Amino acid sequence: MRRVVITGAGTVNPLGHDVATTLAAMQAGHCAIGPLDIPDIDRLAVKIGASVTGFDPNHHFEKGKLELLDRQVQFALVSARQAMAGAGLSPDPARTAVIMGTAGGGLITSDEAYRAVYAEGKNRVHPFTVPRLMPSAAASHISMDMGLTGPTFTVSSACASSNHAIGLAVQMLRSGMVDAALAGGSEAMLSFGGLKAWEGLRVMAPDACRPFSTGRSGMVQGEGAAVFVLETREAALARGAPVLAEIAGFGMTSDAADIVMPDPDGAARAMRAALADAGLSPEAVDHVNAHGTGTTANDRSETEALRRVFRARLAQVPVTATKSLHGHLIGAAGAVELLGCLLALQKGLIPPTAGYLGPDPACDVDLVTGSARAASIDLVLSNAFAFGGLNAVLALTRAKPD
């Protein structure tokens, strides 16, 4: 079976507009959560989020092109360009896939169209409303921007979308269907309509995201994208490409239990499946980048899943939850969190979990807090557990010359 590695990465997210800035912010434990500045903010009960600030789309796109691009597609395109430039890859267009994850698609466009029709009484919307809001737009624009004619599609599995997208790209590379892939996720739902819908679930925190902590009160929304260039290890080494990490395993399961409440059995099975796919045991895991949303239900369920996988060894496995830094990027969450895994694998530094107020007895994990923790990391699990009981876990190993 062909081994799959990451040779390029790009991102636009609340912590930074590129990978280097993002990794520095993660290492420093910088929290990008703060007050939101959006229309009708006074009508929202929750007024905080993690916005991408200082991003000027006019710097990246011509006006005629920009009219076609929802905000989440803009993030995806810029990230994909960074990833391809970093990889230094000149791919065979027909043998290169583009697989993106998103939960909401063009929600900013949807919000603007609804506002125009219902709030302002207009009888027409922007002529490109449909192509802007469709969930597949980011994947399509990346393929067109780079002239890639291989398999191109979008995965939408709520908060597991980008992990599913990356995992499917790995499987396609292993099988020989493609020789390279751009995979990741993008999301931008910090709009009045998007946030009002999430408020209805009563899972939003009014002050901060505090995963696995006592006193936590829910999740905080973010926005952004991350995209990765994947190729076979053999091809990457042959052309002298920078290997950032190897994706050694991928596991996915369904709880088949409840549309919103997580089941620790499904999460545990997904982690075991990723390790089995990698041919490794739980004893080999050095670190877990948790789904860690900061909700009572998720954190306790994920802790129980970790107990079932690691048993007595759980206390020796450092856990972090970077949603406390950049917010919950929903369909793009796993992709941006994978950057934290790269920090751990490449520099031996685990990014800290922000907002910690003290231990919750129900969440007895070795949570990294305060500052980045130095550790020898060879294998990390990156968890993504979504509404609907959809679980996707990636197992990543440090790049090695042998």
Which active-site residues does the annotation give?
159, 291, 328
Contact 356, 369 (CB under 8 A): yes
Contact 245, 346 (CB under 8 A): yes
E-only strand ranges, 63-212: 96-101, 152-155, 180-187
Residue labelled with tokens 């939960």: 103
Alpha-carbon Rg for the chain in angstroms: 20
Tell me how far apart the alpha carbons of residues 306 and 244 are, in angstroms, rounded to a whole number.
26
DSSP secondary structure letter of residue 122 = -
Residue type, 358: G
Half-sphere exposure of 183 (CA within 13 A, CB side): 32
Q: Are strands 152-155 and 96-101 parallel, antiparallel or unpaired?
A: parallel
H or E element in which residue 299 lies? helix 296-310
Q: How far is CA 65 from the centre of its chain?
A: 26
Contact 79, 338 (CB under 8 A): no
H or E element in which residue 388 lies? none
Exposure string over 197-226, b if 16+ CB within 10 A, otherwise e = ebeeeebbbeebbbbbbeebbbbbbbbbbb
